[in-house]
Amino acid sequence: MGEVFVTALRSVSLKVRQGEFIAIVGPSGSGKSTLLNLLGTLDTPSEGRIFIDGVDTSRLGEDDLAALRNTKIGFIFQSYNLINRTSVMKNVAIPAVVQGLSKEVREKRATELLKMVGLGDKINRRPTALSGGEQQRVAVARALVNEPTFMLADEPTGNLDSKTGRSIVELLQRMNRNLGTTTIVVTHNLELANVTDRVIHLKDGVVSQDLPTTRTASKQKTQ
Ligand X SMILES: Nc1ncnc2c1ncn2[C@@H]1O[C@H](COP(=O)(O)OP(=O)(O)OP(=O)(O)O)[C@@H](O)[C@H]1O
Note the residues at the interface with ligand X (CB under 6 A).
1, 6, 8, 26, 28-34
Residue 20 near residue 198 (C-beta atoms within 8 A):
yes
3-class SS at 140? helix
Give the nearer residue to ligand X in terms of CB position, either 34 or 111: 34
Question: Which residues are CB-neighbours of 173 under 8 A, at least 6 positions away?
Answer: 21, 195
x/- mask, Mg ion, residues 194-223, rule CB under 5 A, reads: ------------------------------
Shortest Cβ 11–ligand X spacing (Å): 15
CA distance 62 to 80: 25
3-class SS at 11? coil
Give the nearer residue to ligand X in terms of CB position, either 33 or 181: 33
Give the nearer residue to ligand X in terms of CB position, either 114 or 185: 185
Single out the residue of 33, 41, 183, 213 in contact with Mg ion (rule: CB under 5 A).
Answer: 33
Does 34 bind Mg ion (CB under 5 A)? Our answer is no
- The DSSP code for 199 is E
- Give Cα 223 to chain centroid, integer Å: 26
